[in-house]
Structure 1
């Protein structure tokens, strides 16, 4: 049985030299702090400051360092191949300082020359430049309060409302050439906005270095480097630090499924297929024109797991959302018949990827048990968010793509036709507890011709906004954690453009401003009510009151916390018809206070409702022995809280 290395504290730069134990763990795929050993590290040897370099290139003929410090001449600083069969080349160069630019010049045995960025580099030149930069990651953190309590903020029974952000297009400055904000500028603008709107977490599209801005970060070349587009590594640390000081958790998208074929990247790194498979049926993704990692190679698994733990360690990231997990799990993903190779059992499952994901999640939760991993997995692969010990993949949570698709399809229907699609609303509860789900309306739903969320809603402008308020209210009431992409909180009408700012100017219009206010009030109410989150993943937290009236397109349900007296009733009317004297079952008598109404005038609604609350009458309705006689506003959701005086 292999033994995984587990450093309880970060090694100093002086300990960056590789030991025999490091090499043994690396070769068996169990070294998960490789960033402390490989790459470039500033050290002082015999009183002389310089930099130690180490790179894995087992099939290279020669490897040299080229950079600012030697006028990019390969002859000046050749590296030496270790004599332990590790395939690691290393060397020390005196006088190299922070921010020095460098690459590895690799000559393969067939005589080809490639200048490669450092796979373990902590910093890079701002694209389109491609050199790595020597960097010291020292930073004085001020988020001790958050780090001491984040186990409470990130646990599965905590409130979790995630605001998804593409940093380069959240807000831009038109007076300065439409430039995006820096990490430090985002630290000034973003935390107060998130606090105002009540979100508990932020999720950034990948902030790892990527050459093509239009990939949104998902085509990664620097798995240990924060993109230099927005500032230095310490600038990103400052942003995370500031978010933590405002009580906001930070999740980062991470892309271990594929990597781009750019010449300076991982592809054909040492003249051979090192990080990827040699056979295109395994090593190339035709849909994305990207290379696929070889998860069967132990050193590659150690590289990727080290990257994941690096962001949790050095940047205090609170969670990683793994992109495109489905493409990792299936050998035939995006391929036609004959374009893929079955596994050793003859199936389509990528057994090496399954093993990698399980080991990765075990490493994350062993070393950082107060963080979470999220899987973007769009198939019915079983037990994605169940422990490895129980046969699962070991993720903490999984995006509920089925709920997202069914819900958007339902809302796109004209309200007159919704009665024929009523089952789409009910189906999600049948499988709601099979995984630990996040309900996502992400960037993927508002790009590439899909339009905006508000644009998917039917009817005139008033009905579109009423529908969207209803959609969010239904979502916040439904079991599962919440995720909303930037701009959707105020009903941006234009499809998201990665090179333009959000349409902040529309907040001058009442319907947009009202929608933003609704999202804020939803979040603040959600966070104050354990019934809406504490039992997200338990059947005890949900009960239908009324789900059978398809003809009227009305549903109602109860949400409960572990406290039996803590109960909320959620009622949704999916038609533009006001329904007077509508009988809804209630689990107990007494007063039920109307605490949220998406049809309130301050949100842009018409104002109809139930005057603050209703008293349950001793009338049977369904399986309940009490009922509420309600006014259901058009295209609206109502939240009622039990046991409060009128």
Structure 2
């Protein structure tokens, strides 16, 4: 071995073992070298012997040799072709042999098999430089973020049940999301996994896009085409736990390798998985390398980190009640330190991406800077807002006035973190019913409620996310084994709901007050948030420019409110942006009030006001057209 190769090997091994190997996939795994040799390296520190088996040696092991005392085994073969399959044969200390997947593989064979594929180095020519340049110059906090959450395996399928490929999804999903006015796609996990019913949350291929839909190159092309269509791409990522299968990461070298040594800590009862030992330096290198691979090599715009609460608390899982750390509380100090190291490494290299925490507790400073003790994410899902909002809208309107605080409580903590407001897949599955089916009343009122709720989300401070199918009010809850109910769109009410969502998304994106100051108290003025008796609510969203704002007014009962007075900061002329009860959206209003004249009549703390007819079970979005500005003096 040449001296430079020895130096590189020593350096890479040191970095990996000390938790600083953030490009470990470039060293470990399988690599086709420039001279045609194929190198194999795998970390199995307690193994007695390691071999590589595959189609190139008739699945009979070719021995690898230990790299000093690093715990890494390595070897080179010359008669291996791109496209061939392989695994590692691990002999544990007691002599037992087990075939294992390559943890660093970037492609696997299609399920039900899980052998890795020998791949040539990536040679893709990207065409998204303009997108990346714009992303680098923008601050996501001051930009519109309107996410369409998608499960690729069930968005659309062939008539025989086969999956759409990455190429077919690029041809259909990208233009659809663009036409609907979304700014980002969020893909439920695309990392390789075996069980469809896990939706991708029980992974074993932490560097491999699932082969269900095509090759690694097909996936990269999909991302490239999204960016060319001005769509960002976020992918769900699971660094807390991994698949149970014994031929994957579990007991990789015959002993706890990636998981905790304590079997009680290793066993994730709630999800039937194994928990990563986040305090182990090699696991940190593995996981942070994975995150940086997706964000760097694959050009993703963000990761939604799944199940953060499970990494923050020792007693989060079932059967763990009473577990404490050395300080006597339930914080998982290793998990907290890992998340801080993860976000520090990500933002040092990619300061313009999104790191989103799916975190359901009241843990402080999830989006706070690491230097100030925070976890370092730049967004957190607002699960409290989501649950309270759904509870309110699922309620019979007759009783909503008694539960008005379900809406107003979120005003207390809306700026504690940088939030995304999610109506996600978790809320439309396992008997919870679809968003449309949750709504009370007959079919007409269900759509009216859904339009009002989505408008409430668009106007409320925070970025937003909506799961596929909700945009047209699919009645059936989500089924991962079948495509969405596209047949619904033969129904006029579903088509009108889809048209409404596209119109709402366009209004959201085109009006800076609805997103420019999402995370600053000056971005909202509470104009009418105390009228529980009438079940109405209103507020003003403010942009950076003083005279740029949007008035949002909501009526949560099926009773029209005539001569409803709205307080505003300036007298003058205002114009309608959106009326959820417009006939084109499936409502009853054939003639809309489009212009409103505010006079100098104080109302609800504002110096001027105007009257509107607030539609039954509806909402209005209104903005100033020509108002009387204050003198410079």
Q: TM-score, structure 2 length as denominator?
A: 0.97
CA root-mean-square deviation: 1.4
Deviation of the 1:21 alpha carbon? 2.1
Question: Which among 140, 157, 161 is matched to residue 155 of structure 1?
Answer: 140
Residue 44 (str. 1) matches residue 34 (str. 2): yes
Question: Which among 217, 221, 229 is matched to residue 212 of structure 2?
Answer: 229
Residue 196 (str. 1) matches residue 179 (str. 2): yes
Deviation of the 1:280 alpha carbon? 2.4
In the aligned structure 1, how far is the partner of 2:75 from the partner of 2:7?
10
SS of 1:557's partner is: strand
Deviations 1:77-101 (A, max 9, x none): 1000011x21000000002121110
In the aligned structure 2, how far is the partner of 1:468 from the partner of 1:350?
39
SS of 2:339's partner is: helix
Residue 499 (str. 1) matches residue 484 (str. 2): no
Question: Which among 224, 242, 259 is matched to residue 276 of structure 1?
Answer: 259
User: CA 1:200 to 1:337, structure 2 compared with 1: closer, same or farther past 3 Å?
Assistant: closer
User: CA contact under 8 A between 1:594 and 1:613: conserved in structure 2?
Assistant: yes
SS of 2:102's partner is: coil
User: CA 1:285 to 1:609, structure 2 compared with 1: closer, same or farther past 3 Å?
Assistant: farther
Question: Which among 18, 22, 32 is matched to residue 32 of structure 1?
Answer: 22
Structure 1 partner of 2:158 = 173
User: CA contact under 8 A between 1:152 and 1:158: conserved in structure 2?
Assistant: no
Structure 1 partner of 2:631 = none
Could you list the runs of 4 or more consecutive aligned residues of structure 1 that deviate by over 4 angstroms after TM superposition? 14-18
Structure 2 partner of 1:58 = 45
Residue 511 (str. 1) matches residue 496 (str. 2): no
In the aligned structure 2, how far is the partner of 1:564 from the partner of 1:366?
35
Deviation of the 1:15 alpha carbon? 7.7
Deviation of the 1:263 alpha carbon? 2.0
In the aligned structure 1, how far is the partner of 2:527 from the partner of 2:168?
48
Deviation of the 1:213 alpha carbon? 1.1
In the aligned structure 2, how far is the partner of 1:454 from the partner of 1:153?
35
Structure 1 partner of 2:118 = 134
SS of 1:583's partner is: strand
Segments of 5+ residues of structure 1 without an aligned counterpart are 1-13
User: CA contact under 8 A between 2:13 and 2:72: conserved in structure 1?
Assistant: no
Deviation of the 1:138 alpha carbon? 2.3
In the aligned structure 2, how far is the partner of 1:600 from the partner of 1:188?
32
Residue 463 (str. 1) matches residue 445 (str. 2): yes
Residue 532 (str. 1) matches residue 498 (str. 2): no
SS of 1:217's partner is: coil
SS of 1:550's partner is: coil
Deviation of the 1:594 alpha carbon? 1.1
In the aligned structure 1, how far is the partner of 2:420 from the partner of 2:336?
21
Which range moves more in the overlay, 603-612 or 563-572?
603-612
User: CA contact under 8 A between 1:154 and 1:372: conserved in structure 2?
Assistant: no
Segments of 5+ residues of structure 2 without an aligned counterpart are 628-633
Deviation of the 1:237 alpha carbon? 0.6
Residue 144 (str. 1) matches residue 129 (str. 2): yes
Residue 433 (str. 1) matches residue 415 (str. 2): yes
In the aligned structure 2, how far is the partner of 1:534 from the partner of 1:56?
47
User: CA contact under 8 A between 1:50 and 1:97: conserved in structure 2?
Assistant: no
Deviations 1:360-388 (A, max 9, x none): 00111000111110000000000001110
In the aligned structure 1, how far is the partner of 2:57 from the partner of 2:506?
57
User: CA contact under 8 A between 1:454 and 1:465: conserved in structure 2?
Assistant: yes
Structure 2 partner of 1:205 = 188
Residue 395 (str. 1) matches residue 395 (str. 2): no
SS of 2:75's partner is: strand
In the alignment of these two chains, the number of paired residues is 623
Residue 255 (str. 1) matches residue 238 (str. 2): yes
Residue 478 (str. 1) matches residue 460 (str. 2): yes
Which range moves more in the overlay, 134-143 or 240-249?
134-143
Question: Which among 192, 197, 208 is matched to residue 214 of structure 1?
Answer: 197
Deviation of the 1:578 alpha carbon? 0.7
Deviation of the 1:584 alpha carbon? 1.5
User: CA 1:153 to 1:184, structure 2 compared with 1: closer, same or farther past 3 Å?
Assistant: farther
Question: Which among 76, 85, 104 is matched to residue 88 of structure 2?
Answer: 104
Deviation of the 1:17 alpha carbon? 8.5
In the aligned structure 2, how far is the partner of 1:370 from the partner of 1:408?
32
Structure 2 partner of 1:81 = 66
SS of 2:331's partner is: coil
In the aligned structure 1, how far is the partner of 2:139 from the partner of 2:106?
27
SS of 1:230's partner is: coil
Question: Which among 514, 529, 534 is matched to residue 547 of structure 1?
Answer: 529
Residue 375 (str. 1) matches residue 360 (str. 2): no
Which range moves more in the overlay, 309-318 or 276-285?
276-285
